[in-house]
Amino acid sequence: MRITTIGLDADDTLWHNETIFRLSQDRLREMLSGFASHEVTTAKLAEVEKRNLRLYGYGVKGFTLSMIETAMELTGGDPPGRLIADILAAGREMLSEPVEPLPGVDHALAELSEAGYRLILITKGDLLHQEQKLAASGLGDLFAAVEIVSEKDAQTYARVFDRYGTGAAEAVMAGNSLRSDILPALEAGGWGAYIPYPITWAHEVADAPEGHPRFTELAAISELPGWVRSLA
Amino acid sequence: MRITTIGLDADDTLWHNETIFRLSQDRLREMLSGFASHEVTTAKLAEVEKRNLRLYGYGVKGFTLSMIETAMELTGGDPPGRLIADILAAGREMLSEPVEPLPGVDHALAELSEAGYRLILITKGDLLHQEQKLAASGLGDLFAAVEIVSEKDAQTYARVFDRYGTGAAEAVMAGNSLRSDILPALEAGGWGAYIPYPITWAHEVADAPEGHPRFTELAAISELPGWVRSLA
């Protein structure tokens, strides 16, 4: 089996992301603790995010707007003092958060790149913010192409692997989301390497396609080069 | 001179955009009229937007966050009743606004496409929102490629016209912003057709490169096919 191209998810595959969202969510629950229990705030935020997903898409700016909307609803439309300003500040901090590759990422990507595979970053989220994170990560030079997309479905993977590689059948997609990275890449005819991150956004949860001939689950990204070589 | 490729800006070139931002700004000034004069609100919003541009980039979500921040500052951190909820609703309305091509757009694009030119949409803004606007416009099928970018500089145009065309020297960029559409496309070695829109965001204002051999100003997009043909 010939593999020419490796697609890589960014958030929670190359660097932390969900942890930063969870920390902001914790801060929101504290800010609203005079109005609602932590559980109620969590549930309301999830409801607001889901309702807005079609309009806002993925990323920090939409999340910040959803945090503000949650605060307005849970305070009966009368948020105290600096609450809204604090949420705005939390959102800006998320956008300025330093980016550090997860353990083993530099080495695994360098190994794949040196072995001649074409690396493509394929990620959702705010266009500008993802570009800024890639630049801050120092990993940019390892990628032959960067595709920031609004939705990761089978057509997306087929199109990206056609344009930048030699088609999905000769491509591996590696990432931490079964729902966004693995299942649609398999559906497009590609290979999938699932590398779980300790926490997953509820919206991204799905069942693993156990026994699928082009699927594997890896404990860490350091195992990716070996698995890719084993396909040859 | 051989021209193979036509790059087109989207907002205020293919459909209204700035008008929608101005209407939302008018609504914000009304909402805040008990706290600040229209002039003060306009100036404060411009200041907040400029401060946030590096973090938020272009688009409705960042603009909504900047409207909220402006409201917080002008109300001394104590916004009345539904003010913040109203701004959130205004932002969601901007994202749901119906999209209708400006007069002459359909015909001009169809004429260029039928004449064999490769059309490329090149636009800034929120990724998801721009894709949704293109889909709603009904113009999507006329474009060979769509590039939603975080910044329009000379490198952007060089890269896009290399990837999807035959290089900048054989490409025309058409749009309503001298600063974002025309000057960097000329700098990249391409041609520029400036098609002014009645109003321009202050951030986009620049001087026209009068006398530049690869520059023209057109009164309407209906003049674009004729000008492109005249270059042959």
Which ipTM was obtained for this model? 0.90
The nearest alpha carbon in chain B to A93 belongs to: B55
Give me the percent of chain B exceeding a pLDDT of 90: 88
**A18-96: CATH architecture:** Orthogonal Bundle (1.10)
B residues 116-135 lying closer than 8 A (beta carbon) to A: 126-129, 131
Instruction: Give the tokens for residue B47.
Output: 């200041």
Asked whether residue B1 carries a pLDDT value surpassing 80, the answer given is: no
- B231, B3 contact by CB (below 8 A): yes
Using a CB–CB cutoff of 8 Å, tell me whether A82 touches chain B.
Answer: yes
Please, which contacts does B34-37 make with residues 24 or more away whose CB atoms are closer than 8 Å? Answer: B34/B80, B35/B74, B35/B75, B35/B76, B36/B74
More confident residue, A80 or B11: B11
We find that the CATH architecture of domain B5-15+100-230 is 3-Layer(aba) Sandwich (3.40)
Give the separation between CA A188 and CA B57, rounded to whole angstroms.
32
Element (H, E) at B73: helix B60-74
B81 at A interface, C-beta within 8 A: yes
Specify the pLDDT at position B166.
97
Q: How far apart are CA A113 and CA A5, in angstroms?
A: 10
Say yes or no for a CB contact (<8 Å) between B55 and A96.
yes
Check: CB of residue A9 under 8 Å from CB of residue A130: no
Chain Cα centroid distance, residue A100: 15
What is the DSSP annotation of B106-141? HHHHHHHHHTTPEEEEEE-S-HHHHHHHHHHHT-GG
Closest CA to A158 of A181, A190, A183, A135: A190
Shortest Cα–Cα distance, B187 to chain A (Å): 23
Asked if the C-beta of B96 comes within 8 angstroms of chain A's C-beta atoms, the answer is yes
In chain A, how many H helices and how many E strands? 9, 6
Nearest partner of A173 among A143, A125, A144, A216, judged by Cα: A216
- A58-69 in b/e form (b: 16+ CB < 10 A) is bbbbbbbbbbbb
Q: Where in chain B is the domain with CATH 1.10.150.240?
A: 18-96
Q: Are B123 and B9 spatial neighbours (Cβ–Cβ below 8 Å)?
A: yes
How far is B150 from B180, CA to CA, in rounded Å?
11
Token pair in block for residue A218: 């890896």
Pinpoint the residues of chain A covered by CATH 3.40.50.1000. 5-15+100-230
Task: Please tell me the distance from the alpha carbon of residue B12 to that of residue B195, in angstroms, as a whole number.
Answer: 9
* pLDDT on residue A203: 76
pLDDT bracket for residue B207 (50, 70, 90): confident
Range A18-42 average pLDDT: 96
Cβ pair A127:B126 closer than 8 A: yes
Residue-wise pLDDT for B4-27, tens only, equals: 999 999 999 999 999 999 999 999
How crowded is the C-beta side of A32, counted as CA atoms within 13 Å? Answer: 31
Element (H, E) at A26: helix A18-31
Q: Which residue of A has its CA nearest to B66?
A: A88
Q: Residue A117: what pLDDT?
A: 98
